[in-house]
């Protein structure tokens, strides 16, 4: 190709919803722009804060009219139209304006994690309405039958593609490329007084959990229960719990319950400003994620890049992401998280050593430059596919997970206390 393809990264929730999907879109567009790629970031709310951003109007999922439309339409009818939820209403109304942008600017590649947007743009490309080829970065746990409909799909971890293949669903045009993290921004260092701002003693031991504050999936209630057990079993341990995440329908009740059970030993940071997240990770000693399964959580990358030992459930994706930089445990068993937290919090040398391994593992596999190289290769493949320029297979990442012994301490960085 004589020129680099024009790319649009889009997220209907960006600007009004705080989730990993929205963070992924913002970070990817910024990384592509830094490489000199002609990129536009289309978002469904907020303001255009950077030169390459555009805000497209849509019926946002929490807007009364979106919820009303979703309730009024008969269920079978709304399902057929792709309006089965307020989120789908948001995607459909967003796509209407997105198609105008793609057509007007003759965009080559659309890269999204919103599944309905990807499917609608793929259909528009096939009938000649736009030239843009849609890539779905599969971060929303769509069923294999939905995945089957996508021509270009980016699995975020090798296990996800293996699962699709086991179900008899795969395409040679699919790839496996993980999420990335800016390891210069998320890096060990001082917290610049955030502990004092939160009313947490400077010498406290801080457990951090970053996830949407809800019971289902993220299981924030489980993290609260395990930390309550820790305070009961080890009353002399100066431990504090910080939970940061987006607001959900269950959030207010969970916050009230957590404060009732943990008192002054918990801090809930609802919609904590994203620009301050690196500082928040630096203020912590251990990271804990209560969910049993994830596609590829950005928060876990942010934590390991900052050099925090990570406690995750024993699941192939989470183990692959954490590598030697933490411990995969049975999150369903009462007391297991408590015992593991006590071990890390009371053993500073181990905490530091595992934190070093976490940082080194993240640098090697998930750093922004490493992942963006793979994404740019995939863009070239997608544009060449079916146009006579290339018949090579789509690029994939390696799936092996290094053990702790594979990360020499001489290659690691020292984290803060």
Contact 349, 356 (CB under 8 A): no
Cα atoms in the Cβ-side hemisphere of radius 13 Å centred on 351: 20
Q: What is the pLDDT of residue 413?
A: 29
The CATH number of 194-364 is 3.40.50.2000
Domain 7-178+369-384 matches domain 194-364 at the CATH topology level:
yes
Q: Give me the phi and psi of 112, to 5 degrees please.
A: -140, 165
Q: Which 3 state secondary structure label does DSSP give 393?
A: coil
Q: Which residues pair with 269 in a beta bridge?
A: 244
Say if residues 407 and 324 touch (Cβ distance below 8 Å).
yes
In angstroms, what CA-CA distances link 257 with 214, 216, 262? 12, 15, 9
Query: For 115-123, which contacts have Cβ atoms below 8 Å and span 24 or more sequence positions?
Result: 115/91, 115/140, 115/142, 115/146, 116/82, 116/88, 116/91, 116/92, 117/10, 117/12, 117/91, 118/150, 119/82, 119/146, 119/149, 119/150, 120/82, 120/91, 120/92, 120/95, 121/95, 122/149, 122/150, 122/151
Each residue's pLDDT expressed in tens, for the chain with a length of 417 residues:
446 789 999 999 999 987 789 999 999 999 999 999 999 999 999 999 999 999 999 988 877 766 676 666 555 544 445 556 888 889 999 999 999 999 999 999 999 999 999 999 999 999 999 999 999 999 998 999 999 999 999 999 999 999 999 999 999 999 999 999 999 999 999 887 999 999 999 999 999 999 999 999 999 999 999 999 999 999 999 999 999 998 888 999 999 999 999 999 999 999 999 999 999 999 999 999 999 999 999 999 999 999 999 999 999 999 999 999 999 999 999 999 999 999 999 999 999 999 999 999 999 999 999 999 999 999 999 999 866 444 455 665 544 443 333 333 333 322 222
CA distance 264 to 186: 28
Q: Which CATH class is domain 7-178+369-384?
A: alpha beta
Q: How far apart are the C-alpha atoms of 239 and 345, rounded to whole Å?
A: 8
Task: Give the whole-angstrom CA distance, residue 137 versus residue 129.
Answer: 22
Rounded CA separation 98/114 (Å): 13
Task: Tell me if 133 sits within 8 A of 152, measured CB to CB.
Answer: yes
Global pTM value? 0.86
pLDDT for res 61: 82
Helix, strand or coil, per DSSP, at residue 137:
strand
Q: What is the DSSP string of 308-345?
A: --EEEES-HHHHHHHTTSEEEE-TTSTTHHHHHHHHHH
Look at residue 106 and give its three-state secondary structure: coil
Q: How many CB atoms lie within 10 A of CB 332?
A: 11
pLDDT at 130: 98
Identify the bridge partners of residue 210 per DSSP, sorted by sequence position.
Answer: 244
C-beta separation of 172 from 381 below 8 A:
no
Domain ranges in the chain are 7-178+369-384, 194-364
For residue 375, what pLDDT is reported? 97
């Amino acid at each position: 190709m004589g020129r680099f393809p024009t790319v649009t990264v889009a997220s209907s929730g960006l600007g009004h919803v705080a989730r990993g999907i929205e963070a992924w879109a913002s970070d990817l567009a910024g990384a592509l722009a830094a490489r000199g790629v002609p990129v536009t970031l289309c978002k469904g709310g907020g303001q255009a804060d950077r030169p390459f951003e555009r805000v497209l109007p849509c019926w946002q999922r929490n807007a009364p009219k979106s919820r009303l439309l979703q309730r009024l339409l008969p269920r079978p009818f709304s399902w057929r139209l792709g309006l089965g939820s307020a989120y789908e209403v948001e995607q459909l109304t967003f796509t209407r304006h997105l198609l105008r942008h793609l057509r007007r600017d003759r965009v080559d590649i659309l890269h999204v994690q919103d599944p309905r947007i990807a499917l609608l743009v793929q259909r528009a490309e096939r009938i000649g309405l736009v030239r843009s080829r849609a890539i779905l970065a599969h971060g929303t746990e769509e069923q294999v039958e939905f995945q089957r409909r996508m021509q270009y799909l980016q699995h975020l971890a090798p296990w996800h593609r293996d699962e699709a293949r086991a179900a008899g669903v795969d395409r040679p045009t699919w790839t496996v490329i993980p999420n990335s993290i800016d390891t210069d921004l998320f890096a060990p260092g001082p917290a610049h007084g955030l502990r004092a701002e939160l009313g947490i003693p400077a010498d406290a031991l801080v457990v951090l959990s970053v996830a949407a504050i809800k019971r289902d999936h993220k299981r924030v209630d489980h993290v609260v229960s395990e930390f309550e057990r820790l305070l009961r079993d080890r009353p002399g341990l100066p431990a504090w719990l910080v939970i940061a995440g987006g607001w959900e329908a269950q959030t207010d009740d969970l916050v009230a319950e957590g404060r009732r059970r943990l008192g002054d030993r918990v801090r809930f940071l609802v919609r904590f400003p994203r620009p301050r997240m690196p500082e928040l990770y630096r203020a912590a000693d251990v990271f804990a994620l209560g969910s049993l399964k994830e596609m590829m959580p950005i928060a876990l990358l942010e934590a390991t890049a900052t050099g925090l030992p990570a406690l995750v459930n024993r699941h192939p994706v989470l183990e692959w992401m954490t590598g030697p930089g933490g411990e995969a445990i049975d999150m369903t068993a009462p007391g297991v998280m408590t015992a593991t937290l006590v071990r890390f919090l009371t053993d500073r040398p181990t905490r530091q050593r595992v934190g070093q391994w976490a940082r080194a593992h993240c640098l090697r596999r998930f750093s922004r430059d490493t992942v963006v190289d793979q994404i740019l290769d995939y863009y070239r493949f997608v544009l060449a596919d079916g146009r006579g320029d290339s018949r090579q297979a789509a690029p994939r990442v390696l799936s092996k997970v290094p053990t702790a012994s594979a990360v020499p301490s001489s290659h690691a960085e020292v984290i803060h206390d």
